[in-house]
Amino acid sequence: MSALFQPLTIREVTLKNRIAMSPMCMYSSEDGFVNDWHFVHYGSRAVGGAGLILVEATAVAPEGRITPDDLGIWKDEHIEGLRKISGFMKQHGAVPGIQLAHAGRKASHQSPWKGGAAIPVAEQNGWETVAPSAIPFSEQEPAPHALTVTEIQQVITSFKAAASRALEAGFQVLEIHGAHGYLLHEFLSPLSNTRTDDYGGSFENRIRLITEVTLAIRCVWPEEFPLFVRLSATDWTEGGWTAEDSVRLAKVLQENGVDLIDCSTGGNVPAAKIPVEPGYQVPFAERIKKEAGVRTGAVGLITDAKQAERIIADGKADLVLLAREFLRDPYFPLHAAHELQASPQWPLQYERAKPR
């Protein structure tokens, strides 16, 4: 029997299989609102058999967007469109999840197909970026504003309010984005955090923001619903955040009510040398799972059914999160099931195409 197609129950939520769609920015929103693109994009992956679908990095504040085209959840008016998406996911057997994010110093950029450059504050659609310290992401970008303690508390409040909206919008899994060089990751890494107050310096101080965000969200996120955190398990750079740090943090997060660590890497140092190859991040998921005793998700160039099956069957992770492969093939789970001789439920409208 296929390990990939075994259900996974976390708290009171059961995923029908171990295949999740990883959150991927679509850069297709106006003022943070959902539109037809999002509905079709996420809906097709639900029809395609994903056990869990995580909606893209959704900004908890306007200044937390990577681009002006990012999806948002910073005001109540965003709820209705998101509820339509989560409802369709449930209708077709996928558990609806959403990733809450703040881009920090990597905010205020053009969308990739518009060039991807930083948008100056003086330009229309540009704004001042924020970070733990006034250290720019690269030499080509302006220094961000170093957050005051009062402003840090406002960030925590924004995450908490966004979690409440996500619940009202019908989501059952929440993921906190603490990876890829965005705000929470910036606080974790000594390369981007040189503060000397309670939010910088020691390991305990650098993890303070993400732990406070987690605790604040758990106050409003129901006990029966899972809470994930995406981490960059390493900065891939000397003097940066390490795999050992990630194991230590994972233990703390689990104590704070986090159920799964979504294990990615990098994103905080432009010049980092990352050994990209199929499944290159899986060892971090395996290590954190074994050493911290917490569920993990594996992500990064997982592109075929047998590869995904081995990750789960060998106990390297509890979940595989596919990104680009889901862009190439919205029906990956249905095709993988046929290859692995599992028997998923095909949509009635598509049964005539089911392999015999």
220: left (phi over 0), alpha (psi -120 to 50) or beta: alpha
In 3-state terms, what secondary structure has residue 348? helix
Residue count (the chain): 356
Task: Report the C-alpha gap between 159 and 139 in whole angstroms.
Answer: 29
Catalytic residue among 27, 42, 182, 331: 182
- Alpha-carbon gap, residue 281 to 338, rounded angstroms: 26
Helix (H, G, I), strand (E, B) or coil at 322: strand
For residue 12, how far is the Cα from the chain centroid? 21
Catalytic residue list contains 331: no
Q: Tell me the backbone φ, ψ of residue 15, rounded to 5 degrees.
A: -90, 135
DSSP state of 174: E
Q: Which of 95, 93, 14 is nearest to 348 (CA)?
A: 93
CA-closest candidate to residue 296, choices 323, 326, 320, 324: 320
Q: Is the dihedral of CA 248, 249, 255, 260 positive or negative?
A: negative
**Which residues are marked as active site?**
182
